[in-house]
Amino acid sequence: MSTERVQEKRQFGHRARLTLTPAQIRLMDGQAHAARTMWNCLHEWWSMLPRDKRSPAAADVAIRQARKETDWLGVLPAQAAQAVLKTYLQAWRNCWDGRADAPNFKARVRTVMSVDIPQGRDLNITRVHRRWGMVNIPRIGPVRFRWTKDLPAGKHATTTSRVTGARLVKDALGWHIAFRVQTLETKPGPHTGPHVGIDAGVNLPLALSDGNHRDHGRPPRLPDGTADRDKWLNPKEKTKLLDLERRAAQRKQHRGPGEKTSRRLRHTYDQIKQLRAKATRRAVDWQHKTTTSSIAAQYGTIVVEHLNIKNMVKSAKGTIDSPGKNVARKSGLNRSISQEAWGRTVTMLTYKTARQGGALHKVPAPGTSLRCSACGLTTPGSREDQATFLCKNHDCGWSGNADWNAARNVLHLYRMGRALTPAAGRAVVRRPRDVKPATAR
C-alpha cells in the first residue's frame, strides 16, 4: 500500500504594514492616482468605441500611447499599467457572466487607492531581522515592512514556493502591501472531527450546536439598551471618537453651500477614519483566530445558514404612502448585523475548513430560530425575546438559549438532507451568455 501523499498548489495572501518616508508616500500616492486615472481613461475610450473595434490589443496600444503623451501618467510602471488593463477586462467578463455589475467611473474620494505589482521577481524580499523585512517597490525603492509571517523569499524561494506578486493598498492607517504567495503543500486527509451547526447572531456572535459558543467579550448593547456601534474600541478611544464627531459636526456647520471642505475638517475626518479602521482590524483579527483554531481545526463538517444579508439590512423607512414602523430600532439592528460581518465569517470558514480537510455546507434559513429543537414544532410565542427560547407546546415545554436552539436546528436540517447545492447556495441569477448588457454595446 502506497503511503505517498498528494501534493497540491495553494495560493494565499499576506498583508503587511509599510514604513514609508514622506517622499515615498508622495511617490506612491502619485502612482495610485495615475492608476485610477488610467482606469477612467480606459473606461471612456472603451465606451465610445464601436463594438467591432474593441479588443485587448487596441486597448494596450492606447495605454502605451497615453503613458508617452502624458508625463504624470508615466510615473506608473509599465507592468502596473498592464495590470489595470487586465483588471478592467476581467471586470467586463464578470459582468457578462452575471457575477458583478458593469465597471464604472472611479471617483477620487470613494475609490480605494491601490497599485498592482504583477511580477514577484521585482520585489526582492529580504528579512532584515525578527521584526522587519525589506521589499523593493518599482520606482519607489527599498521599503521596510512589518514581518509577521514567514515568506518564501531569498534563498527560501523555489519554483513551487514563491511570491508571485503583490498589491499596494492604502487605507486610513497608511500604506500596506498584500503579497500573493504560491506554495506546494500536502493535501490534507479527511477531517475526522464531529459535525457542528452554527447560528450567527447579534447578542451571541457564533452559537454552536454543541454549546461551545464563541463570544468576543464585547456586549452588543449599552446599559441604556441602545446598540453599541463602537464595541471594538476601548473607553478612551470611544471618548475620542465622540469628541471628533462633535468637532466635525461643528465645523461642517460653517461650510456654505457649494464650498470645499476645509483642511481642518478633512483632518478631523481622517482621524475618525483611523479609529474606524482600527476597530475593523480588531474585528477581523477576532474572526481569523476564532474560525481557524476554535472551529475549522476542531470540527470536520460545519453547517451554516444561507442568509441573504443584503435584504436583512434594508431600511424600514418605507414610502410616503406606506411608512415603516420601528424605523430607529430597525436601524440599530441593521448596524449591529453589519458590524458582525456574517458574510466574512462564512467566507473564512469556507477556505479554512477545506484547508483542514473538512467541509462547509449551507441549509435554508427560514424557521430555524422559531422551531423547537426538542420537539421539532413551531409554536407561536415561543421566541419571546432575543436571548431565551421557551417552547409553548404543552407536550414539550423545553427552554434554553435561543441561539443554541437555532444552531441545533441548523445541524438537524443538514442531517435530514436539506443541504443546498453550491449553485443554490450562491443564489446568483446568471444571464445567458449570448445576451450582453446594454452598457457593453
Positive/negative CA dihedral, 210, 212, 215, 219: positive
Which positions ≥6 away from 77 have C-beta within 8 Å?
A: 31, 117, 138, 139
Domain boundary among 129, 155, 186: 186
Q: Which three three-digit cell numbers place residue 25?
A: 508616500
pLDDT for residue 385 is more than 80: no
Note whether residue 435 is domain-resident. no
Q: Of 29, 35, 140, 19, which Cα lies nearest the Cα of 85?
A: 35
pLDDT band at 212 (very low <50, low <70, confident <90, very high): confident
**Three-class SS of residue 260?**
coil
**Are residue 55 and residue 170 in the same domain, yes or no?**
yes
Q: Of 229, 315, 224, which Cα lies nearest the Cα of 272?
A: 229
**Are residue 199 and residue 289 in the same domain, yes or no?**
yes
Note whether residue 238 is domain-resident. no
Q: How many distinct structural domains can be found in the chain?
A: 2
pLDDT, averaged across the chain: 84
pLDDT digit string, tens, across residues 395-420: 788 888 888 888 888 988 888 888 88
Q: Which pLDDT score is estimated for 247?
A: 94
Q: What is the mean pLDDT of residues 412-433?
A: 60
Note whether residue 149 is domain-resident. yes
**Are residue 60 and residue 123 in the same domain, yes or no?**
yes
Q: Which three three-digit cell numbers place residue 319?
A: 414610502
**Are residue 127 and residue 219 in the same domain, yes or no?**
no
pLDDT digit string, tens, across residues 235-268: 899 999 999 999 999 988 888 888 888 899 999 9
Q: Which pLDDT score is estimated for 133?
A: 92
Taking the complete model, does pTM exceed 0.75, yes or no? yes
What pairs with residue 279 in β-bridges? none
**Are residue 216 and residue 182 in the same domain, yes or no?**
no
Note whether residue 296 is domain-resident. yes
Q: CB–CB of 219/300 below 8 Å? A: no
Of the candidate ranges 49-58, 212-221, 423-432, the one whose mean pLDDT is the lowest: 423-432
pLDDT for residue 437 is more than 50: no
**Are residue 214 and residue 80 in the same domain, yes or no?**
no
Residue 194 amino acid letter: P
Q: What is the mean pLDDT of residues 313-339?
A: 72
| Sequence-ordered alpha helix ranges (H) in 157-303 | 235-253, 263-289
Q: Which pLDDT score is estimated for 226?
A: 60
Q: CB–CB of 151/181 below 8 Å? A: yes
Note whether residue 63 is domain-resident. yes
pLDDT digit string, tens, across residues 150-205: 888 766 677 778 899 999 999 999 999 999 998 888 888 888 889 999 988 887 88
Residue 437 amino acid letter: P
Note whether residue 67 is domain-resident. yes
Q: Which pLDDT score is estimated for 430?
A: 37
pLDDT digit string, tens, across residues 32-55: 999 999 999 999 998 888 888 888
- Give me the percent of the chain exceeding a pLDDT of 70: 89
For Cα atoms 232, 15, 185, give the angle at the middle one, nearest 5 degrees.
120
Q: What is the mean pLDDT of residues 384-390?
A: 77
Of the candidate ranges 127-136, 214-223, 426-435, the one whose mean pLDDT is the lowest: 426-435
Q: Are strands 301-306 and 206-208 parallel, antiparallel or unpaired?
A: unpaired
Question: For residue 339, how many other CB atoms are within 10 A of its CB?
Answer: 20
Considering only residues 277 and 387, tell me which one the structure prediction assigns the higher pLDDT: 277
**Three-class SS of residue 410?**
helix
Note whether residue 390 is domain-resident. yes
Torsion of Cα atoms, 196 then 201 then 205 then 207, to 10°: -30
Q: Are strands 206-208 and 195-200 parallel, antiparallel or unpaired?
A: antiparallel
**Are residue 286 and residue 180 in the same domain, yes or no?**
no
CATH number at residue 277: 3.30.420
Q: What is the mean pLDDT of residues 77-88?
A: 92
Q: CB–CB of 40/105 below 8 Å? A: yes
Question: For residue 167, how many other CB atoms are within 10 A of its CB?
Answer: 18
What pairs with residue 145 in β-bridges? 18, 133
Note whether residue 49 is domain-resident. yes
**Are residue 175 and residue 203 in the same domain, yes or no?**
no
Q: Which pLDDT score is estimated for 120?
A: 87
**Are residue 374 and residue 418 in the same domain, yes or no?**
yes
Structural domain range at position 147: 7-186
Q: What is the mean pLDDT of residues 281-308?
A: 90
pLDDT for residue 432 is more than 80: no
**Are residue 174 and residue 211 in the same domain, yes or no?**
no
pLDDT digit string, tens, across residues 83-101: 999 999 999 999 998 888 8
Q: What is the mean pLDDT of residues 225-237?
A: 79
**Are residue 179 and residue 207 in the same domain, yes or no?**
no
